[in-house]
A = this chain, B = another copy of it.
Amino acid sequence: MNEFLQVVTFGEALQLLRDNFPLRRSVYMPLAEAVGAVVASDIISPEALPAFDRSTVDGYAVNAADTYGSSESLPAFMAYAGEIAMGCEAGIVLTPGQCAWIPTGGMLPGGANAAVMVEYTEKLADDTVLIYRPVGPWENIMQTGEDVAGNQLIFSTGHRLRPQDIGLLASLGIQEVKVYDTFEVGVISTGNEIIPVAEQPSIGQVRDVNSLALAAALKLCGARVNNYPIIPDDFDRLQQAVDQALSENDVLLLSGGSSVGIKDMTLDVLLKYPEASLLFHGLAVKPGKPTLGVRIGKKLAIGLPGHPVSALMMFHITCAPLLRSEPSFWREGKLDINLASQPGRDDFIPVQLKEAAGGGLMVHPLLGKSGLMSILALADGYVHIGYQQQGLKAGEQVKVVLF
């Protein structure tokens, strides 16, 4: 029986995985598909926005000075010079004392430097408009480049594109963006006892939960997933499967076979590659001691525990933060009971969130046997107790990372 070769803390493991994570490739992506993608090189505005002075109201384009002193009782009389149509050049140049109808978004005509809202005007006759309120220069006007100047940095590398960002890029005429490609991740379940979900287990067999659950978790992280057939505890077959999966993916997740057990051979298979370097084997974490990381050339292989609850928890805490382009969501709330913890080990405890009677959130740890699949399905998130902590007290404010 092997021992764990290189046991590290949770924080050390995360850092090792981060340092050895495959580099993100970048791709050019049409803007229409780019929501959620992460910008791979700084984006500079190719032009000014707006490209011309525009009215932000429906009303009359004027020279502000012509409206000074006007009021409800003493309106300014302006000469009507015509109408600016949407989607057309202004085509008018105002002389002092003239105004022109301008719709919201319409182009400001020459000679004008402000717009008066229609509510404060009255069209008296075909050729006269009354203005009941003065406007200052550039009032109700969006000036050229006021939104975005030309040659301005709009989004820095690393920014995740949201719908409004897509909108800003579209308004600048940008049709394609350089973004980071999603990671390709292979998933292999191992173990003689594992059978496909579609099959009826005979006694002593369990269904291959990890292939489906890890693929689902990977999808939510934005990764492309390749599932491979279940591999029994057979060195040669495992080696063949790992060979293929490493060539087809950036990251390989293996579940089962990383525990200290007679038939565990994942580590042996991974370390047989000449370019393999062991990052860690064994994690001072509950649940999930039997987790391992091996860098193989530019690829990364992560061995997760065979038990689905541990496998998913370990994926959440060690893989998800590296694959996702955005941080996890969390909530704060008050623990409703004491939580014991063993020092020298990081504990991750599934919890439920409930509205507290006096406002705020109550955090309720789910403390059944760690192997219960139903516990994770009941949980809203988890609480992390660091390896230097001895536990948490009832009433303490804690951070809950949401699933």
Q: Which residues of A contact B (CB under 8 A)?
A: 31-32, 34-36, 49-52, 56, 58, 85-90, 103-107, 142, 146-148, 154-155, 161-168, 170-171, 173, 175, 191-194, 197-198, 200-210, 212-217, 219-220, 227, 259-263, 306-309, 312, 329, 369-374, 376-377, 379, 403
> Contacts A58-B259, A104-B259, A166-B216 given; 18 further ones with Cβ under 8 A?
A31-B212, A32-B227, A36-B220, A56-B371, A87-B193, A88-B204, A89-B204, A105-B206, A142-B371, A147-B372, A162-B377, A163-B216, A164-B373, A164-B403, A166-B213, A167-B212, A167-B216, A167-B376
Q: Which of B216, B262, B306, B377 contacts A35 (CB 8 A)?
A: B216
* Least distance between A150 CB and chain B CB atoms (Å): 13
B146 close to A170 (CB less than 8 A): no
Q: List 10 A-B contacts (CB under 8 A).
A: A35-B217, A86-B263, A105-B193, A142-B369, A142-B371, A154-B374, A163-B213, A163-B220, A164-B373, A167-B216
- Closest B residue by C-beta to A89: B203
- Closest B residue by C-beta to A315: B163
B51 close to A201 (CB less than 8 A): yes
Q: Which of B52, B164, B210, B216 contacts A213 (CB 8 A)?
A: B164
A217 close to B163 (CB less than 8 A): yes
Complex formed: what's the CA distance from A115 to B200 in Å?
Answer: 26
* Least distance between A186 CB and chain B CB atoms (Å): 15
Complex formed: what's the CA distance from A51 to B339 in Å?
Answer: 31
Centre residue among A87, A148, A207, A219 by max chain B CB count within 10 A: A87
Complex formed: what's the CA distance from A207 to B161 in Å?
Answer: 19
A308 close to B377 (CB less than 8 A): no
B171 close to A373 (CB less than 8 A): yes
Given the interface pairs A168-B377, A369-B146, A376-B168, the reply to whether A163 lies near B214 with Cβ below 8 Å is: yes
Q: Which of B154, B193, B206, B260 contacts A171 (CB 8 A)?
A: B206
* Least distance between A64 CB and chain B CB atoms (Å): 17
* Least distance between A174 CB and chain B CB atoms (Å): 8
A209 close to B171 (CB less than 8 A): yes
Complex formed: what's the CA distance from A34 to B220 in Å?
Answer: 11
The 10 closest A-B pairs by CB, nearest first: A87-B193, A167-B213, A35-B216, A164-B376, A163-B217, A163-B216, A87-B192, A86-B193, A166-B216, A170-B212
